[in-house]
Structure 1
Amino acid sequence: MLDVRRLRLLCDLDLLGTIAAVARVNAYTPSAVSQQLSALEREAGVPLLERTGRRVTFTAANRVLVTHAATVLAALEQATAALASASDRLSGPLRIGAFPTAVRTLLPRALVSLGREHPALELRVTELDPVAVPRALRERQLDVGLVQDYDVAPAAPDADVDTTPLLEETVYLAVPARSGTTGLPAADDSAWITATPGTLCHTATIQVCRAAGFTPRTRHTADDFATVLALVAAGQGVSLVPELAVADAPPGVRLTALPHRRRTRIACRRGAASHPMVAACTAALRDSVAYSAGHV
């Protein structure tokens, strides 16, 4: 019989790449992880890892086992959700990861609602770029997270994560009010305020500008849209901002709607969508979006 805890370590190794990283995530020593994986090999009856010094690579048998292990772990998530549904009271930690604009605009109302309806929940919020959410879910650092993509930068499917739509927004070009820039093509020679390279917002900005025929010239880098809009108002450059961020745009910013969309989805580990805590969080976030839409 294959040990489920060891299967989880194997999946973590597939995700993280090194035994040292698996040890950090699971609060084990590297030696303990190696021992557990060796025990899993004995249970499987076939070699799973090839070791060369400190490096390990997967065998063909390991690839097969990892695929099945992911299905087993998803089934365990479903079983946990079913057991939790038998209780009439939600309690314990609910760890939520969200991007900065959502933390400022959508989460406060959702958190108040969750706290009022389920006072025994321990709500914990982490500000996180959407590209980091799937990994945080797989590493069990989060229970629910907000992921995103843009029409110009669609997300690849992730077999380990279940998602459900939450919000779709218009993308705007933000320019200083006194600027002569009248649209995206005219912004090719402007200074730009872009997000940190590697973030989804940075990737989307590059793609939108390239589709318009140019590469943006970055002057400032900022990841919080309130900061971005303040810099635009100060005449420091132009930027792309989503609809959630423009409600509090300061004076001195002119906004032009673009034919591009940012899409936000609620994400959880595969099999966990029916867990009562995840379902309650999903409902609260949707209510918050509906409330915001009705008070624009």
Structure 2
Amino acid sequence: MLDVRRLLLLRDLGRLGTIAAVAQARAYTPSAVSQQLSVLEREAGVPLLGRSGRRVALTAAAVTLVRHAEEVLAALERADAALAAAQAGLSGTLRIGAFPSAARTLLPAALVALARDHPGLDLELTELDPVDVPDAVRDRRLDLALVHDYDVVPAEPDPALAAQPLLDETVHLAVPTDGPPDADPDPPDPVAGFREAGWIAGTPGTLCHAVTLHACRAAGYAPRIRHHADDFGTVLALVAAGQGVALVPQLAAGRPPDGVRLVPLALRRRTALTYRRGGADHPAVAAGIAAVRRSTADLGFPVLG
């Protein structure tokens, strides 16, 4: 019988590429990870690991085993959901993750509703960048999370996770109102008109940084980034102060400060609710999804799905 915990280590290795990275993610020593993978290899009866330079590569048999491991883990999630559904009332902890603009706008009303309707449920909210969400949900640090991508920078699907679409937003170009007006009052690509401007972008490595680079490169230039800021309130304050221009999605641009003009773009930001495969029917996760969808609709946004 294959051990599920060792299957998790094999899955992590396929995703992270090195024994050291798996050890760091799981708070093990590298030797402990190697030992457990060796045991799994003996249990499987076929070679699972090979070398590719300094990295450890999965064999074809290991890739097949990881694919089956995802199905096993999803079945365990469904079993956990069935047990939770058999209990009277919701209890335990629901760990929710969200990116800052959603945590500030969509989550407060949802948390109030959950606390009112399910007083036995302990709620935990964590604010984090969408690039960090898959690992947090996969590793059970979160049960439900709001994650976004952009139509021009789509996220790769994760076989361990499932998702429900929630929201599709317009992305705006935020520019100072006292800056030079565009030569064309309705340009086909407003980003192209700010080739010489300083830009305000997210921290390198974040999705917001990546979409700024993509939008400017699509307009034919590399942006001159003057400031890095991950909070859109800070971004809009910097734009109002004449420090540059920035991309701001609709959810974060509700009430821009004086001195900011918002130019709608063709870019779209897409938000989804994500959770572990097999977990959609868990009563706490289902309650969280319903509460977030209601709060989104109450704010006047068209809810997808």
- Pairwise same-fold verdict (TM > 0.5): yes
Question: Following the alignment from structure 1 to structure 2, what is the Cα–Cα distance between the partners of residues 210 and 23?
Answer: 38
Alpha-carbon spacing, 1:51–1:198, altered in 2? closer, same or farther (3 Å): closer
Match of 1:17 in 2: 17
Match of 1:247 in 2: 254
Question: Following the alignment from structure 1 to structure 2, what is the Cα–Cα distance between the partners of residues 90 and 15?
Answer: 34
Task: Kindly indicate whether the alpha-carbon contact (under 8 Å) linking 1:25 and 1:139 is maintained by their aligned counterparts in 2.
Answer: no
Task: Kindly indicate whether the alpha-carbon contact (under 8 Å) linking 2:77 and 2:279 is maintained by their aligned counterparts in 1.
Answer: yes
Task: Tell me the alpha carbon deviations over residues 62-93 of structure 1, each in whole angstroms, 9 at most, x when there is no partner.
Answer: 22211111111111111211221212222222
Task: Tell me the alpha carbon deviations over residues 225-279 of structure 1, each in whole angstroms, 9 at most, x when there is no partner.
Answer: 0000000011111111000111131111111111221110011112212211111
Query: Does structure 1 residue 97 correspond to structure 2 residue 112?
Result: no
Where do 1:220-259 residues align within 5 Å?
A: 220-259=227-266
Task: Kindly indicate whether the alpha-carbon contact (under 8 Å) linking 1:94 and 1:122 is maintained by their aligned counterparts in 2.
Answer: yes
Secondary structure in structure 1 of the residue aligned to 2:300: helix
Question: Following the alignment from structure 1 to structure 2, what is the Cα–Cα distance between the partners of residues 109 and 90?
Answer: 19
Q: Which amino acid aligns with 1:150?
A: Y
Task: Tell me the alpha carbon deviations over residues 101-121 of structure 1, each in whole angstroms, 9 at most, x when there is no partner.
Answer: 111111111111111112222
Match of 2:185 in 1: none
Question: Following the alignment from structure 1 to structure 2, what is the Cα–Cα distance between the partners of residues 280 and 186?
Answer: 46
Gapped regions of structure 2 (runs ≥ 5): 183-189
Match of 2:131 in 1: 131
Q: Which amino acid aligns with 2:247?
A: L
Query: Does structure 1 residue 272 correspond to structure 2 residue 276?
Result: no
Query: Does structure 1 residue 218 correspond to structure 2 residue 207?
Result: no
Match of 2:84 in 1: 84
Alpha-carbon spacing, 1:45–1:263, altered in 2? closer, same or farther (3 Å): same
Query: Does structure 1 residue 188 correspond to structure 2 residue 170?
Result: no
How far apart are residue 55 of structure 1 and its match?
Answer: 6.1
Question: Following the alignment from structure 2 to structure 1, what is the Cα–Cα distance between the partners of residues 192 and 31?
Answer: 57
Query: Does structure 1 residue 110 correspond to structure 2 residue 110?
Result: yes
How far apart are residue 27 of structure 1 and its match?
Answer: 4.0
Match of 1:66 in 2: 66
Alpha-carbon spacing, 1:211–1:30, altered in 2? closer, same or farther (3 Å): closer
How far apart are residue 51 of structure 1 and its match?
Answer: 7.2
Question: Following the alignment from structure 2 to structure 1, what is the Cα–Cα distance between the partners of residues 95 and 24?
Answer: 19
Question: Following the alignment from structure 1 to structure 2, what is the Cα–Cα distance between the partners of residues 59 and 155?
Answer: 26
Query: Does structure 1 residue 7 correspond to structure 2 residue 34?
Result: no
Question: Following the alignment from structure 1 to structure 2, what is the Cα–Cα distance between the partners of residues 92 and 29?
Answer: 31
Where do 1:163-178 residues align within 5 Å?
A: 163-178=163-178
Question: Following the alignment from structure 1 to structure 2, what is the Cα–Cα distance between the partners of residues 19 and 209?
Answer: 38
Alpha-carbon spacing, 1:56–1:246, altered in 2? closer, same or farther (3 Å): closer
Secondary structure in structure 1 of the residue aligned to 2:199: strand
Question: Following the alignment from structure 1 to structure 2, what is the Cα–Cα distance between the partners of residues 158 and 195?
Answer: 24
How far apart are residue 61 of structure 1 and its match?
Answer: 2.1
Question: Following the alignment from structure 2 to structure 1, what is the Cα–Cα distance between the partners of residues 7 and 272?
Answer: 28
Alpha-carbon spacing, 1:111–1:185, altered in 2? closer, same or farther (3 Å): same
Aligned residues: 294
After the TM superposition, which of the residue ranges 12-21 and 239-248 deviates more from structure 2?
Answer: 12-21
Percent identical residues: 63
Q: Which amino acid aligns with 2:45?
A: G
Alpha-carbon spacing, 1:118–1:206, altered in 2? closer, same or farther (3 Å): same
Secondary structure in structure 2 of the residue aligned to 1:207: helix
Q: Which amino acid aligns with 1:188?
A: R
Task: Kindly indicate whether the alpha-carbon contact (under 8 Å) linking 2:147 and 2:274 is maintained by their aligned counterparts in 1.
Answer: yes
Q: Which runs of 4+ in 1 moved over 6 A?
A: none
Question: Following the alignment from structure 2 to structure 1, what is the Cα–Cα distance between the partners of residues 210 and 15?
Answer: 23
Task: Tell me the alpha carbon deviations over residues 197-221 of structure 1, each in whole angstroms, 9 at most, x when there is no partner.
Answer: 2211111122222222332211111
Q: Calculate the TM-score normalised by the size of structure 2.
A: 0.89
Task: Tell me the alpha carbon deviations over residues 132-189 of structure 1, each in whole angstroms, 9 at most, x when there is no partner.
Answer: 2112222222111122111221222222210101111111111111112434332111
Match of 2:26 in 1: 26
Question: Following the alignment from structure 2 to structure 1, what is the Cα–Cα distance between the partners of residues 255 and 13?
Answer: 44
Q: Calculate the TM-score normalised by the size of structure 1.
A: 0.92
